[in-house]
Amino acid sequence: MSMHPATLREIKQHALNMRRNIIKMLAAAGSGHAAGPLGLADIFAALYFDILRYNRDNPNDPDRDIFVLSSGHVVPVQYAALAEAGLIPEEELVTLRKFGSRLQGHPEREKLPWLETTSGPLGCGISQASGMAYAIKNIDHNAKRHVYVVTGDGELDEGNNWEAIMFANKYHLSNLTVIVDRNNIQIDGTTEDVMPLEPLADKWQSFGWHVLQVDGNNIENFVDACQMARAVTERPTVIIAYTIPGKGVDFMENDYHWHGKAPNREEAERALIQLEAGSL
């Protein structure tokens, strides 16, 4: 399905704005994770400006879609998306990781109403999202709602993910879509050096999931994949989204050292110059 050019350009602009704010908030904090949030900006812009159903006036709307962030360390991209959507004040972003701030280095559900879960320990999000999807489908019987979860590829080293993946298939949780941020890095190196994941798509398929593979930095392709996922009626869907860690900043791109590193003032200035010059 082709997206209207004006809509696509708008979402690309949101993603670019979010990348700028990610750099600014990380530089202000002096710590945090740069590569993952920058790589995920296109996906989060698509989620908050096209895909997710939510009520701007009521974050607890009983008919809202559920979004679970499993890889909690990339939460700066979610904060940037919330600010870009006008759900939190943009000026609050520079309080990232400050004592008493609502914007902690890992999301805390009770700090901010737009967060569905608290995350930090990796490998929990698919289990949480599967339980939510099960309850929505089999207890609430609410066909309007869909559950999305973003997980990192390195998280899939955790065994309890695969228990949840089996559970979701057993109960035909077609209202569940997992988005794997396949950026091929984790804190100690590349995923294939630390713990090889390939053939990743075949593994998910062997567990009974509907598998889609997309360029995660191509907004139109990602939105199409999400629409296809909602059309699947008998089983859950995984979207393996291939992203460039550090996207938009040449000295960060594809460098695992930036997985858990924030830019200093000089690096932030260089990054912002590149992002200001970046084309849509």
pLDDT mean values, one per 10 residues, the chain (280 residues): 87 98 98 97 98 96 97 97 98 97 96 93 95 97 96 96 98 98 96 97 98 98 97 96 97 96 97 85
Query: Looking at domain 5-277, which of 3.40.50.300, 3.30.428.10, 3.40.50.970, 3.30.2270.10 is its CATH number?
Result: 3.40.50.970
pLDDT (0 to 100) of residue 278 = 73
Quick one: which of 36, 61, 46 has its CA closest to 184?
A: 36
**What dihedral angle (degrees, nearest 10) is formed by the CA atoms of 228, 13, 67, 260?**
120
* Cα 153 to Cα 151: distance, rounded to the nearest angstrom: 7
Amino acid at 124: C
Enclosing H/E stretch for 275: helix 265-277
pLDDT (0 to 100) of residue 277 = 85
Pairing state of beta strands 189-190 and 185-186?
A: antiparallel
**Please, what is the Cα angle at 186 between 17 and 76, to 5 degrees?**
30
Q: Is 61 helix (H, G, I), strand (E, B) or coil?
A: coil
As a whole number of angstroms, the longest Cα–Cα distance in the chain is 53
Q: Is 59 helix (H, G, I), strand (E, B) or coil?
A: coil
Under 8 Å CB-to-CB from 3, ≥6 apart: which residues? 50, 219, 220, 223
Amino acid at 10: E
Mean pLDDT of the chain: 96
Domain boundaries, the chain: 5-277
Tokens for 23?
A: 């750099």
Enclosing H/E stretch for 15: helix 5-29
Check residue 58 and report its DSSP letter. Answer: B
pLDDT (0 to 100) of residue 107 = 96
pTM for the structure as a whole: 0.97
pLDDT (0 to 100) of residue 271 = 97
Quick one: which of 76, 6, 15 has its CA closest to 219?
A: 15
* Cα 43 to Cα 134: distance, rounded to the nearest angstrom: 25
